[in-house]
Amino acid sequence: MLAGVFILAQDIRPQLRFIWHCFICPIGTADQRTRLDKFYEGQADVYDATRSGLLRGRNTMLTLAAGHIRTMRKDISKQRLIWVDIGGGTGHNIELMDKHIPIKSFDAIYLVDLCEPLLQVARQRFSKRGWTNITVLCQDATEFSLPEWSDSNPKGSVGFVTLSYSLSMMPNFYTLLDRIDYVLSPENGLLGVVDFYTSGRQPSLHEKAIGGTSKECGWISRWFWQIWFDFDHVSLSPHRRDYLEYKFGTIKSYNGRNRFVLPFIVRIPYYIWLGRSRSCDVSPFCHAFEVEGGNMIGNCSPTPNAVVKESEMVPPLEIGDPMLPVPVEPSNAAATVIDITPPLSSFHYQVGKPWRLPYYEQPVHKDFRTFIYSFTWEDPVVDLKHLDLSTDDSMLVITSAGDNALHYAIAAQPKRIHCVDMNPCQGHLLELKLASIQSLEYKDFFDMFGSGCHPQFRGLLDSKISPFLSSAAYQFWHINDNAFSSAFYLNGYSGWALRLAQYIFSFVGVSQDVEALCSAESIPEQEKIWKEKLRPVLLNPIVVALLKNPIFCWNALGVPLNQRRMLLEEGTIYEFVRDTFDPLPSTYSFKDGAYFYLLALLGHYTRSSCPEYLTQSGFDALKSDNGKAMEAFRLHTDSIVNVLRGLTTWSLTRAVIMDHLDWFTPGSKDVDDEIDEFYRVLAPGGFVLWRSAARKPWYNEVFEKKGFKLTALGVRSGPEVPLDRVNMYASFWKAVKT
């Protein structure tokens, strides 16, 4: 008994020392160095053991940084790389980084800290590992000076700087960040920060632009944590992070909550942030996004070099304010004109290919908690028969899950593919596919999007995929990193329909028949299984009644009320479902090509039945020549009509808008406006393709009235002949600009 108590006491001794020095032992009001020494001298040797649960995100920040360094520096060994870890204490970060980039790969590493007890631990750690390229400096961070600067100008000489839970402890943080900005390389320098924070009530326009998802703190959290940490001379006021994000261009920003000790009660806000010098050359990105790319209506960043009257600034800046980028002469301040280059959005500073166009988070975006479609439900092979694509074409398509847009890129490599969706999560999904193709090998990629399961997704996301994602997309996938833990295609609203189908099959005992249907070697065998086993299940009155429900139609199938109304005006739900399903098993092999229903039945694709981008040849075509085919993509987070308004006259030759116009109310002025814009933007001879749940949609007349010539490419007349491998729509149309 006594032995057990002794062992327990030994086990919790580090925690007891942590509690004593952090919460009980008085620190006093001495200078910064004295306070730090007194605070850490009794716990330096147990610092790392007691901070693993409290200081979250350090390894993630380093993993992200390593991935971005490798992307920014194609060959690390051929470029001088200096790392300065400011406030690095015991050297824990440097030891962690060795897992991602070997420490010996750095030309020099400098650990700067003001606390000698912690630095003693660091020296012992580095000596034990045999690392000779690390120099430990006991210096004030705001005045840090590297030995190699004695004979040269330090401007732009550092490639990598980290601040791990140290920025909040720096009294003079303005000076520190200014100094880092001076010494950080403008071409390929990287700054990584992880720290606690609190925020204001409402995010600013700039915060929205750099991906401030989940940044807001409730008033209790905001004030409690500021007061609590202030006892230890740690400042969580928003000013440090605000100046950081003002001074540097944001590459990645993630806002999390540390569920320390009591997961549902103690939720300390912390953030992970990567940035680069604002003087880096982002002009090509600006041009591509804001001139050629469209999205000029309410979506672009503040205009660089805007001339702004000082009196119009909110809040007004005073002479000497560290937020003021340019000195102001005191004479006649009300009439002073300042040349201001505001911080651009994170989209402009990202390291990888600029697929995603800048957008500010709007109230409408918050209506979309996740993606609706995890797969695309239109047949791209039939599209290509009518698109007649070439490398000179510029297209506009609805993003959806991106499957068809990728198919067009593989088949024809058009000059431009504008992917448009109001739901930012659909853009996040296509971004993830593009970034994964760019950064992963085929096996990992197919495991993610073919099999729908990759247990190491989070590791791949941070280390390989993240450099090619926008900050907004990275934050979404970081939060939803369990999406690939078991069955990806059961996520999203469309996943509810797949889950329900699997439950029904299991409940009625036909799960084995479903697998037999998807592995049938011949069409007759497939047709027999359908008629005898599965048709009675899917076309029974209970399932049909569920499909009639408007709530289920929207939340599980993505069918809005107006589209549902259109198909009901031409027949019953039973007739629509019958005409959709009956001709497919007797026409197309699910095992070898009709991958749409194979996915719906099994919940995943197979190597022999999957979208073109998931085949080895399709993947190779997109990845080849450093992803040249993917350079065509521009991802817009906006309405179609707004994107069209941002494009120049005659700049498009093709548009594929799926069943988009079915969503509008008959006679809607929005449809008139959109078709007017299509007529303006399309070059002569250009055309629009669409599908509809109705055999003759009401808006056909609008196209004809606006000057388009219409052709019916396919109209369903019964359950005998399918229009394509999906056959979910009653008609397929083409409108040519004459």
Strands (E), 511-557: none
Domain count, the chain: 2
Task: Put the strands of the sheet holding 708-715 in their side by side order.
Answer: 633-636, 416-420, 394-398, 652-656, 682-692, 731-737, 708-715
Nearest C-alpha neighbor of 336 from the set 326, 323, 349, 346: 326
- Domain CATH code at residue 213: 3.40.50.150
349: amino acid identity, one letter: Y
The answer to whether position 152 is within a domain reads: yes
* Paired sense of beta strands 652-656 and 134-138, if any: unpaired
102 C-beta neighbours (distance < 10 Å), count = 10
pLDDT value of position 567: 80
| Backbone phi and psi for residue 361, each to the nearest 5 degrees, phi listed first | -65, 125
User: Alpha-carbon distance 431 to 218, whole Å?
Assistant: 31
**Residues 494-498: contacts with CB within 8 Å, 24+ apart?**
494/372, 494/373, 494/374, 494/375, 494/556, 494/557, 494/558, 495/374, 496/555, 496/556, 497/556, 497/557, 497/600, 498/599, 498/600, 498/603
Cβ atoms 356, 705 nearer than 8 A? no
What is the rounded distance in angstroms from the CA atom of residue 307 to the CA atom of residue 507? 67
Query: In this predicted structure, what is the pLDDT of residue 478?
Result: 95
Structural domain ending residue among the three candidates 576, 602, 628:
602
CA atoms within 13 A on the CB side of 259: 4
As a whole number of angstroms, the distance between CA 215 and CA 269 comes to 8
Residue 421 has which token pair?
């969706």
Integer Cα distance of 693 and 580 in angstroms: 11
d(CA 527, CA 520): 9
If the chain, 738 residues long, is cut into consecutive pieces of 10 residues, what is the mean pLDDT of each piece? 44 51 53 54 50 78 96 77 94 95 95 91 94 95 92 92 94 94 94 91 72 76 80 83 92 86 70 92 45 38 33 30 32 38 76 85 78 91 97 97 98 97 95 98 98 96 96 93 93 80 88 95 95 90 74 64 82 88 95 94 95 98 96 95 94 96 92 97 97 94 97 93 94 96
pLDDT of residue 295: 43
Last residue of a domain, one of 602, 629, 651: 602
Of 602, 625, 648, the residue that ends a domain is 602
Q: Rounded distance, CA 296 to CA 226, Å? A: 39
- Does residue 137 lie in a domain region? yes
The predicted pLDDT at position 204 comes to 72
Residues 191/248, Cβ–Cβ less than 8 Å: yes
The two three-digit tokens of residue 323, written as one number = 């937020």
DSSP 8-state code for residue 603? S
Q: Is 174 inside a domain boundary?
A: yes
Residue-by-residue DSSP string for 203-250: --HHHHHTT-TT----HHHHHHHHHHHHTTT----THHHHHHHHHEEE
DSSP designation for 530? I
Torsion angle defined by CA atoms of residues 498, 499, 500 and 502, in that order, rounded to the nearest 10 degrees: 90
Give dist(CA 303, CA 386) in Å, integer. 41
AA letter at 67: G
Helix (H) or strand (E) run with residue 509 in it = none
| Residue 14 burial (10 A CB sphere; 0-12, 13-18, 19+) | middle
Could you tell me if 713 and 387 are in contact, meaning their C-beta atoms sit under 8 angstroms apart?
Answer: no
Q: What is the DSSP letter of 463?
A: I
Rounded CA Rg of the chain:
29
Q: What is the domain extent for residue 582? A: 492-602
Give the model's pLDDT for residue 390. 97
Q: 473 in a domain, yes or no?
A: no
pLDDT of residue 326: 32
414 and 396 Cβ atoms separated by less than 8 Å: no
**Is 550 within a domain?**
yes
Which residue type is seen at 664?
Answer: F
User: Does a structural domain hold residue 411?
Assistant: no
What pTM value is reported for the model? 0.86
Q: Which residues contact 325 (CB under 8 A, 6 or more apart)?
A: 340, 341
Q: Using CA atoms, how far apart are residues 382 and 734, in angstroms rounded to an integer?
A: 12
Does some domain include residue 443? no
Asked whether residue 534 is assigned to any structural domain, the reply reads yes
Whose CA is closest to 68, among 243, 234, 192, 168?
Answer: 192
